[in-house]
Structure 1
């Protein structure tokens, strides 16, 4: 029979004093025993909870019995006796509690299908992704290829054979999609493992696993964005002048600034300093997550001043909808019946022009394109963004772009 040392009155007095002391620098934590392993633990902040302490094979263990006063002294004694009874029957309550939690995890994992985990994982990651398109790509690929095979399966039951069933049909024919799909499946399964909803190695991992089960692909030459030869740019600009709409100005501005599509269509008026002739793109909108300053030529500024009266809201190149950025400029190229090039390719045209027609240093041209230098030592020593040199370079580029194309004889 347990020896009871506490009473309700004594307990209330002890806790009351502890809570008053919590407001002073002399506050201390305390452990008050009722006898035979039952204790009330009181923190410096004055909160209290019941503990049962016991020894098994020479090691001390503790089991929580609930907070006071929600769990009264009477209830705490009943719970403590249940622990003593378990110990008498050779059951370690600490291990039993862990096993119960494990069984609960297993029960939860049966209800957690791959589809539900995908939804939760995407919601978790969404704030860290740059735009809605990224989460949509995750949703589309997993829905199209993984969901029909493993979507309704419990997350704990998915194995290597299931992953191969998804990837094998498209591994060689749609390798780019298959590779991204594999990584996304691996991420979802890894997330589920961390949460305790599945156990064991990740069946979607590639190294030392799927690389030995999927056919090896022949090395291919990396595809680059199709670019217009820089010598044809002046003629293209003349073509562009005959076009209508905001897209015509946006594309010319993109060419003049050697910018990415997203940087241009996402531009807002607050980013432009007309006095200093600088467009400052914040880090959050840059691919490398580093703020980028773009020196603007006379023509670039002229474009901004031309569209200003027609640009509503905060976005510079807005769509027909109020204060919404315009969509991609690819449609404009199609309308002009210009094929075999991409909007992004104009950056390559600019880079080729710098390399072949000017003496501007490599790192100045790379800075204009907001490229990260491949050499870490170079990065450490180059602390400037070479804005003065780039101002000259962008002015020369604008002059070249505006060159009147030579007329060809009939």
Structure 2
């Protein structure tokens, strides 16, 4: 191998053009326009030269360290040039940016999300609050401090949004791990610990007192899509999304069947939900048919169905603090205070899951007949056709 370390850092910079040996196969090739470190070695009886970088970027010390590592590879019977190429390819495969992994995770979960995740805007918290700052960071480099710094501005001010963003990010990190990437699966939990307990107190959606519902119902009298949609929302106690997407094909007789994928919950396990329609609800549906487009009872002015903001904005313009979703609470309070409906039936009215998995496996009923009686009484109360509240028991 000959003498080692023949050159000095000071001498390297003043060497004339040509090839100069440092020993051990390390050379510096000097030209008029620059200099290049080169390692000469023999592998499998073949002489090879490997560039180690230019003198402007790699010092003599660094060149010697790189040469030493390469000699170890040669000693192990491998070609350091091929090993370097292999490692670069491997590193390139492992540079998965967070935005790419997040999009892949979303695509993988779409099948189990309501409306392919669009209706519930599963991706939105990531898109708005995570990816603008962290999207171009390799997912393997992401740590709790990055996450903490990103979510800190909204951790207390927009607590629920921040919670969703952190939850979605945790799912993305687990997806990255499933892809075989080296990620810190505890990063989101560590970030949560760094962020501390949120000072924000969750507030229930404002619900109109059930005693005030009849007067509001009567005010919805112009026969417009918005008025009719709100009327049916009140009468059925369903959530906004299935109400807005109600289709004529879903109604048979006095039963409206909401597809399982439109219900809240996991798309692949949520069963269809039957909603008994009161006499008043059937009347509202019949009136809404004149607005129907493509079978949808509540179409928007341009295309599709009315948005989830339509009914809410109407109530805001009416200077009401209550929100459409709150009518579910109005109905539930009315059932509790003015009827003797069993708990299981009352909860099923709202489409809530009652009991554990084993209990549900044996209890196959959806209490349709009992719910039909409850909803008929509710329809009479809302339209002021029934007896006094205390006589509805």
Structure-2-length-normalised TM-score: 0.69
Partner of 1:280: 257
What root-mean-square deviation, in Å, do the aligned CA atoms of Structure 1 and Structure 2 show?
3.2
1:280 alignment partner, SS class: strand
Contact 1:296–1:391 (Cα < 8 Å) also in 2: yes
Report the Cα offset of residue 142 of structure 1. Answer: 2.9
CA–CA distance in structure 1, aligned partners of residues 339 and 301 of structure 2? 40
Report the Cα offset of residue 170 of structure 1. Answer: 2.9
CA–CA distance in structure 1, aligned partners of residues 257 and 386 of structure 2? 32
Q: Whose relative contact order is higher, 1 or 2, with alpha carbons under 8 Å and at least 6 apart?
A: 2
How does 1:189-208 map onto structure 2 within 5 Å?
189-196=173-180, 198-202=181-185, 204-206=187-189
Report the Cα offset of residue 306 of structure 1. Answer: 1.9
2:137 is equivalent to residue 160 of structure 1 = no
Structure-1-length-normalised TM-score: 0.66
Partner of 2:277: 296
Partner of 2:93: 108
Contact 1:185–1:204 (Cα < 8 Å) also in 2: no
Partner of 1:226: 206
2:237 is equivalent to residue 258 of structure 1 = yes
Q: How many residues align?
A: 307
How does 1:202-351 map onto structure 2 within 5 Å?
202=185, 204-206=187-189, 209-217=190-198, 220=201, 222-241=202-221, 243-274=222-253, 277-288=254-265, 289-321=270-302, 324-328=304-308, 329-335=311-317, 337-351=318-332
Contact 2:225–2:291 (Cα < 8 Å) also in 1: no
Contact 2:380–2:386 (Cα < 8 Å) also in 1: no
How does 1:46-61 map onto structure 2 within 5 Å?
none
User: Structure 2 regions of 5+ residues with no counterpart?
Assistant: 1-74, 388-393
Report the Cα offset of residue 92 of structure 1. Answer: 9.2
Partner of 2:7: none
Partner of 2:34: none
1:213 alignment partner, SS class: helix
CA–CA distance in structure 2, aligned partners of residues 92 and 144 of structure 1? 48
2:166 is equivalent to residue 182 of structure 1 = yes
Report the Cα offset of residue 401 of structure 1. Answer: 0.8
CA–CA distance in structure 2, aligned partners of residues 251 and 102 of structure 1? 62
Report the Cα offset of residue 137 of structure 1. Answer: 4.2
User: Structure 1 regions of 5+ residues with no counterpart?
Assistant: 1-88
CA–CA distance in structure 2, aligned partners of residues 104 and 143 of structure 1? 29
- Judging changes above 3 Å, is the alpha-carbon distance between structure 1 residues 388 and 200 closer, same or farther for their aligned structure 2 residues? closer
Report the Cα offset of residue 175 of structure 1. Answer: 2.3
Contact 2:248–2:295 (Cα < 8 Å) also in 1: yes
Q: Deviations over 1:323-349 (max 9, x none)?
A: x222232122234x1411110111111
